[in-house]
Amino acid sequence: MRLVTLKSAAPDGRLAVLSADHRRALPVDDLYPTLQAALDEWNVALSRLGKRAALLSGGRCEAAVPFEAGAAAAPLPRSYQWLDGSAFQSHGDLMAKVFHIDNPQSDRPLMYQGMSHQFLSGTDDVELPSEADGIDFEGEFGVITDEVPMGVGVAAAAAHIKLLVQINDWSLRTLAPIEMKTGFGWIQAKPACSVAPIAVTPEELGGGWANERVALPLNVWWNGARFGAANGAAMRFSFAELIAHAARSRRLCAGTVIGSGTVSNDNFRDIGSSCIAERRAIELLDEGAPRTQYMRFGDTVRMEASGADGKAPFGVIEQRVVAPRLAAVR
C-alpha cells in the first residue's frame, strides 16, 4: 500500500491512498483524517485502508483525484518523535575525517533526537537562514513505527516497522562540529527535514526491503548533475536494531520516524555520495583539501530511490534552497 498526505488547511493534511501508477489519490479522511490517526490503530487501519486501496486499483472509484507531487505534504507533516541514526560505516568514517573528530563508531548505533514538529514536503522551497552555514543535503531512508514498548528486543522491533519513507535531512555543516563538541547533539545544525511524498508498506518494495533495510539505490542530483547512487542495503545496523536501541529506556509513540543516516557505500569513489560533506571528505583524502563548496541559495537537489521496476517507490524529492522570505524579528 502507498499512502500520501494531501496538503490542506489542517496542520496534518489529509490522508489518501495512492494508486500503483502514482497517478490517482483516493482521500480516506472519512476513515482516518491523518496518517497519525491511522498509525494510532495501525492493525485495524491497515485492513481498512487496504480495502480502499483495492477499490482504487479496481479502477471504479469516482472519489479518486489526479495526483501530482506538488499537492503532497510530507507523509507526516509533523510527528512527536524523529530519531536519526547514522548506520552507514563509510559515511561515519568519512565524516570523522572531514570534521577532524574521533570516529565515534562502535558496537552501538549512533543516533540523535531531531526536530519533529515540522517535516517539509519534497517539493516546497526550503528557507534557510544563511549560505554561510554550510547548507548540505543528506539522503536517507526511514521507517515509521506504531507504538513500541520500552525494552523491545531486535526481533520484536522488526514487527513495529509499518511504513518506509525517503528523507532529506538538511544539515548546516558550519554549525555541526561546534554543536557536536558539546556532546549535546545538534539543534542549530539540524533544521527541518524534507520527506518524499509516498510512504509505502514494506511488502510494496518486494526484494527492495531485505533484512530490515531498504535495499535500493538512492539516486541524488545536485543542480541537475548526478551526485550519487548509494544503496541502502549497506546499513551496518538494521532498522530493527535502531528501534531496539531507541527503545532502551522509553516507549516509542506511534508515528515515531527512525532514519538510517546518510546512505553511503564503501565504493564511494565509483558510486558517489548522498551529501556534500562526504564528497568533501573524499576530496580531502584524494586531493589534500575539500574542493566542492556547500549549497547556494537557488540550488536544487533531487533525490529518488529506484525500485526493481525502475520506478521511484517513494516519489521524488526535488526542491530548492532559498533565503528566508521574512526578515527575522529581533
Kindly tell me which of 24 and 160 has the beta carbon lying closer to its own copies: 160
As measured in angstroms, the least distance from the Cβ of 208 to its own copies is 27
Provide the minimum distance between the beta carbon of 110 and its own copies in the complex, in angstroms, as a whole number.
5
Q: Please report how close the Cβ of residue 141 comes to its own copies at its closest, in angstroms.
A: 19
Residue 63 or 96 with smaller CB distance to its own copies: 96
Interface residue list for its own copies (CB under 8 A)? 78-81, 83, 86, 101, 104, 108, 110-118, 127-129, 133, 149-153, 155-156, 172, 175, 178-189, 191-192, 245-246, 248-253, 256, 324, 326, 328-330
CB 161 within 8 A of CB 148: no
Phi-psi region at 78: left, alpha or beta (left = phi > 0; alpha = psi -120 to 50): beta
d(CA 50, CA 33): 16
DSSP state of 28: -
Which CB, 25 or 175, lies closer to its own copies?
175
Q: Which residue has the cell 548522498?
A: 274
Cβ at position 325, least distance to its own copies in Å:
10
Closer of 12 and 204 to its own copies (Cβ): 12
Q: Return the number of the residue (210 or 253) whose C-beta is nearest its own copies.
A: 253
Beta bridge partners of 138: none
Contact (Cβ atoms closer than 8 angstroms) between residue 243 and residue 160: yes
Compute the least distance from the CB of residue 288 to its own copies, in Å. 25
- 53 C-beta neighbours (distance < 10 Å), count: 20
* Closest to its own copies by CB, 65 or 101: 101
Q: Let me know: does 25 contact 6? Beta carbons within 8 Å.
A: yes
How far apart are CB 85 and its own copies at their closest, in Å? 9
Per DSSP, 78 falls in state: S
- Decide whether 236 or 245 has the Cβ nearer to its own copies: 245
Bridge-based pairing of strands 161-168 and 139-145 is: antiparallel
Length of the chain: 330
Minimum Å gap between C-beta 86 and its own copies is: 7
Q: What torsion, rounded to 10 degrees, do the Cα atoms 92, 95, 97, 103 define?
A: -40
Looking at this protein, which amino acid is placed at residue 43?
N
What is the distance between the alpha carbons of residues 229 and 26, in angstroms, rounded to a whole number? 32
